[in-house]
Amino acid sequence: MNTSPVQAVHELEPVLREIEHERTQQVALFAQIALWSIVIGGLLTILLVSFGFGAIGLAPLGIALLVIAASYSAKAQAWRKSFKWRVMKHLVKQFNPSLKYYPERYIPLHEYQISLLFHNSPEPDRYTGEDLIEGTVGKTHVRLSEIHAQYRQETYDSRGRRYTHWVTIFRGLFISADFHKHFHGVTLVLPDTEQALLGGFGQWLQSLSAKLGIQPGELVKLEDPEFERMFKVFSTDQIEARYILTPSLMQRIVEFRKKTNAPIRLSFVASRVFVAIPSYHNYFEPPSLFAPANKLLEPATIQQYFEELQFALAVVDELNLNTRIWTKR
């Protein structure tokens, strides 16, 4: 991190004051819209009900509530977009000048597919994301964003009526970083749920899944007990997998798993390491439209965004990717 939160507030103060003033104006305008909508809708409703229109008389009040909801949604979206383009973009640059931030872009679907992290799940029918950050951290090129991959599931009730449900495959941070080595095979590091629940039988099921082609290559047994409790490893090249997963790297992955407190997944494909960190936290979001005045001018608010950036980019340091153990060929 090249800039402290206090410095960031000082350097961005003109922009922060301008955007805070705009937010205050939009809140005041929304309050007027809400007030007049309720007054007009309420009066019309009272009038219609008093003339015996019954339930239909409630329509003006219902319309007023819809107007209020639509007004809030439009203003909240405009505030969110303005914050990301005018504030967050500068904060990322201050955090690390080599990074670029694209609020409305995200890791493309083909990169998600290349990672093979969710190759056993259905192909996404809906794939969205935001907050793409790309650049160099130390010596390592890194690209990350929030993504949300879902597939459509259709069910039928006893009367034959069809219902559509959206099932989440993955939601969270998806990271792609240069590992500085061309891999001959594919190595997957996945959460070990079977062995944790079923012990030795679970490990046998894992080995069977590889033999049946459900997982690529073979199950790789490693010598770090703590790593083995948390993860299962499959690889199309056993020797290369052991070469990649050194005792030091396994320990770093374990520590990273503890720090994220989430069932992370990693894969080593081509010359990159892919990391998926599931989370329902929405990163890099602005304070509420109705937050206290000058909320953005508080260093504590900016500190929150720096902490989120540190967490998102921690994979480079946690996995020691800037240390060039191998020469890329």
- Stated as kind and residue range, the H or E segment containing 78 is helix 59-83
Percent of the chain at pLDDT > 90 equals 53
Token pair in block for residue 256? 């990273």
Range 107-112 average pLDDT: 96
- Between these two residues, 292 and 130, which has the higher pLDDT value? 130
- Residues 218-228: tens digit of each pLDDT: 889 888 889 98
The whole-angstrom separation of Cα 81 and Cα 37 is: 26
- Taking the domains of the chain in order of start, what are their residue ranges? 5-95, 100-318
- Residues 170-217: tens digit of each pLDDT: 999 999 999 888 898 999 999 987 454 444 444 534 444 444 446 778
- Residues 56-82: tens digit of each pLDDT: 878 888 999 999 999 999 999 999 999
Using CB atoms within 10 A of its CB, is residue 253 exposed (0-12), middle (13-18) or buried (19+)?
buried
Percent of the chain at pLDDT > 70 equals 91
Q: Residue 271: what are its φ and ψ, rounded to 5°?
A: -130, 25
The whole-angstrom separation of Cα 245 and Cα 223 is: 10
- The pLDDT score that the predictor gives to residue 166 is 94
Cα 303 to chain centroid, rounded: 19
- The pLDDT score that the predictor gives to residue 60 is 87
Task: Measure Cα distances from 195 to 26, 200, 204, 228, 230 in Å.
Answer: 55, 6, 9, 9, 9
The pLDDT confidence band at residue 1, using thresholds 50, 70 and 90, is low
Range 128-147 average pLDDT: 95
